Amino acid sequence: MQLTLHTDYAFRVLLYLGSQAPGQMVSTEEISRAYGISRHHLVRVVQTLNEHGFVNVVAGRSGGVCLAREPDQICLGEVMRKAEANLKVVECFDAETNTCPIISICRLKPVLSEATQAFLAVLDRYTLADLLDRKRGARLAKVFAAQVTDKP
């Protein structure tokens, strides 16, 4: 299974924001520079995270984005489900578009469904806080600060 860039970037944005001081507003430009990713794409990711209550967005010159919840209240499985547009691993998961001629006798679909559920169950056991213990969070903040200041 491969995540879309949208989901990958959603996790990255949350990691970045989680490594900052609580409530600190950060510009999407800053996050974009820290990761070396497209600001345009990042804005769409931040919109998704905002729509689902993971981040707060404040428009304007002194605005930016910050976490809307405490890191221990941001479940990685929930982020995955909200950010990933398509969890249909194979064509037959979508009855409307399925063209597989062996669907009625195939035993692969239930196995892949179980595997997908297991994948999500693992993510459901973790929160953003689990990725940001104090020591790791401080190291991330240093790495991000270096990335942002090293790039024009």
pLDDT of residue 133: 74
Q: One-letter amino acid identity for 98?
A: N
pLDDT of 96 reads: 83
pLDDT at residue number 114: 92
Can you give the pLDDT at residue 136? 59
Q: pTM (2 decimals)?
A: 0.83
- What pLDDT is stored for residue 97 in this prediction? 81
Q: List CB contacts of 144: < 8 A, sequence separation 6 or more.
A: 16, 19, 34
Mean pLDDT in order along the chain per 10 residues (152 residues): 90 95 93 93 96 95 93 97 84 79 83 90 96 68 63 54
The three state secondary structure string of 25-62 is CECHHHHHHHHCCCHHHHHHHHHHHHHCCCEEEECCCC
